[in-house]
């Protein structure tokens, strides 16, 4: 399941522990954000217990967008142990997201 969070909650999440997460930076008016949502929803179910999935509306959280230099939507932040290991802008198919998950976020490359 994907949790909708705000900037303060995200900061807390990143600072409090070594979280491994995918953050979907979106807006309600972005058509590619709408197309990406079911892809991330499917992945969140497949990766439950391994990676946390969150989404943050950049219109509602402009300070977040500035600090993390979110210039295009959607933008996906890949976070391992509280640190951004990859940042991708634009729609991504499930396979491309899984490739980043396997290569940069998980300890083993055996998850499909």
User: Is 95 part of any domain?
Assistant: yes
Within a domain: 80: yes
What backbone phi and psi angles, to 5 degrees, belong to 41?
A: -65, -45
Q: Put residue 55 in one of left, alpha, beta given phi > 0 → left and psi -120 to 50 → alpha.
A: beta
100, pLDDT greater than 70: yes
Please tell me the distance from the alpha carbon of residue 68 to that of residue 41, in angstroms, as a whole number. 23
Measured between alpha carbons, how far apart are the two ends of the chain, in Å? 18
Interatomic CA distance for residues 112 and 81, integer angstroms: 21
Q: Which residue has the tokens 């500035």?
A: 66
111 part of a folded domain: no
Q: Which domain holds residue 58?
A: 2-105
Scan for tokens 């979907």, then name that residue: 24
pLDDT digits (tens, 9 = 90+) for 66-98: 999 999 999 999 999 889 999 999 999 999 999
- Report yes or no on 57 lying in a domain: yes
The average pLDDT across 103-112 equals: 69
Sorting pLDDT into bands at 50, 70 and 90, what band is 108? low
Mean pLDDT, the chain, whole residue set: 93
78 closest CA partner among 98, 107, 64 = 98
Quick check: 16 pLDDT over 80? Answer: no
Whether 73 maps to a domain, the answer reads yes
Distance separating alpha carbons of residues 98 and 112, to the nearest angstrom:
7
Asked about 54 being catalytic, the answer comes back as no
- pLDDT, tens only, 35-48: 999 999 999 999 99
Q: Residues 30, 47, 56, 70: which is the catalytic one? A: 30
Active site residue 33: yes
Q: Any idea what DSSP says for residue 108?
A: S
Answer yes or no: is 112 within a domain: no
Q: Please report, for the domain that includes residue 47, its CATH number.
A: 3.40.30.10
Catalogue the long-range contacts made by 65-72 (C-beta closer than 8 Å, 24 or more residues apart): 65/25, 68/25, 70/25
Residue of 5, 19, 23, 33 marked catalytic: 33
């Amino acid at each position: 399941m994907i949790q909708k969070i705000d900037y303060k909650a995200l900061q807390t999440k990143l600072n409090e522990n070594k979280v491994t997460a995918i953050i979907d930076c979106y807006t309600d008016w972005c058509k590619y954000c709408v197309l990406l949502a079911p892809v991330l929803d499917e992945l969140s179910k497949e990766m439950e217990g391994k990676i946390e999935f969150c989404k943050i509306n950049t219109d509602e959280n402009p300070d977040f967008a500035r600090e993390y230099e979110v210039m295009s939507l959607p933008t996906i932040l890949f976070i391992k142990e509280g640190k951004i290991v990859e940042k991708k802008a634009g729609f991504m198919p499930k396979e491309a997201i899984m490739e980043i998950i396997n290569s940069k976020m998980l300890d083993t490359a055996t998850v499909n």
